[in-house]
Amino acid sequence: MTEGPHPTDGHPDGAGHDLAALSPEEPIPNPGLPPHEPRPTDVDAAQERRAERQVAGMFILAALLALAFCVLYFVIPPPSDQSATFMGYGASNLALGLTLGLALLLTGAAAIQWAKKLMGNQDIIEARHSTASPPNVREEQVAAFKLGVAESGFGRRTLIRNSMFAALGMLGLPAIVLLRDLGPLPGNLTSITVWKRGIRVVNDVSGTPLRPSDIAEGQLVNAEPALFFDEVGPNGKVIKAKYTGTALNDQKAKAAVILVRMLPTDIKSAQERAWGVNGIVCFSKICTHVGCPISLYEQQTHQLLCPCHQSTFDLTEDGKVVFGPAARPLPQLPIMVDKEGYLVARSDFHQPVGPSFWERG
């Protein structure tokens, strides 16, 4: 800290007078520190004792609250269907949150009160130093490094040096080989689903098979292939669901569909009309953007909106994208009516369902 010139009361035209004395490094006079003013706790012993009691009181209360947290953790049963509530909130979460939160809050408040009222508050100036080491220290370091290189023989013993490079380089190979565990490659699994000719389209959750007459104009059915549900066969025998557990989830992620019914004249695409049954059309429920399930169907505009990123598909025209980030139309599942009058698939999807991937192009 260099001593700057101080304008004093004796120079009313101080600024002009001192201008010549200012160095280019410090064009503005250093005003210095304001005089230290004592706090009430510095001058009044009673105030000081009061602040001390406040700080200690908050710390002790925080300690007690932390203890209360531990006690309440064991006393109140954790949230479940039958657990206690308090004013409409789960009693356990409320008690644990309040005790721990207040303990942390009081600890912080006590620390701030301590620093503001009791700790010394003289202003100090800490001068800034150059970050570089002095030249002699730097020279010593360079000399030590060079000595180390010479003594190790790193430049001279080339056999050892090169074999060390080989060892370190080869260590990279296991890391690359282990990437194989990311595989095996999915093959055509991303392009096919479990839908096949003759598989019934059934209502999701209940597994009810659907007749065209059950589906009103303006109806939406969130549907699945019948393979995911236990079925009662023609002779009254129960046919167990073909997929369960993880396999079910894998297949459901691709095979979920929605059925909607509109007036056949509302459908603009001839192919879409042909792939449906009297205005009942079946589309994949998996968004072609990043694969969210979409069933936000507006029955008057016939648009399907994905709640994740607002991709909007027009179900009157081959599921083409009318808004949003999706890049491809929603794949349509061709359907027909089987001998017993229920809706069945005519084939698998003609395009892969869900988000784009490399081979799909």
Structure tokens at 240: 């167990």
By CB under 8 A, is residue 321 in contact with other proteins?
Answer: no
By CB under 8 A, is residue 205 in contact with other proteins?
Answer: yes
Full strand arrangement of the beta sheet holding 303-305? 296-298, 303-305, 312-314, 320-323
The strand pairing partners of 75, in sequence order, are none
By CB under 8 A, is residue 303 in contact with other proteins?
Answer: yes
Encoded amino acid at 32, one letter: G
Q: Using CA atoms, how far apart are residues 342 and 354, in angstroms rounded to an integer?
A: 26
By CB under 8 A, is residue 253 in contact with other proteins?
Answer: no
Contact of 219 with 260, CB cutoff 8 Å: yes
Among 70, 218, 230, 360, the residue binding other proteins under the rule CB under 8 A is: 218
By CB under 8 A, is residue 206 in contact with other proteins?
Answer: yes
Size of the site for other proteins (CB under 8 A): 51
CB of 120 to other proteins, least distance (A): 13
By CB under 8 A, is residue 299 in contact with other proteins?
Answer: yes
Please choose, out of 137-145, 188-196, 208-216, 273-281, the segment that lies near other proteins by the rule CB under 8 A: 208-216
By CB under 8 A, is residue 175 in contact with other proteins?
Answer: no
Among 54, 190, 219, 356, the residue binding other proteins under the rule CB under 8 A is: 219
A 10 A CB-CB count for 267 gives 21
CB of 236 to other proteins, least distance (A): 21
By CB under 8 A, is residue 117 in contact with other proteins?
Answer: yes
A 10 A CB-CB count for 65 gives 20
Q: Of 289, 328, 283, 331, give the one whose Cα is nearest residue 306.
A: 289
Which residues in 198-217 are b (16+ Cβ under 10 Å) and which e?
A: ebbbbbbeebbbbebeebee
Q: Using CA atoms, how far apart are residues 75 and 132, in angstroms rounded to an integer?
A: 60
Q: Of 185, 165, 163, 55, give the one whose Cα is nearest residue 116.
A: 55
CB of 157 to other proteins, least distance (A): 59
* Residue ranges in 255-284 that form contacts with other proteins under rule CB under 8 A: 260
Please choose, out of 15-23, 138-146, 200-208, 350-358, the segment that lies near other proteins by the rule CB under 8 A: 200-208
Among 107, 278, 295, 347, the residue binding other proteins under the rule CB under 8 A is: 295
Residues that bind other proteins (CB under 8 A): 37-43, 79, 85, 88-90, 93-94, 97, 112, 116-117, 203-206, 208, 210-211, 213-222, 260, 293-301, 303, 305, 307, 310, 312, 323
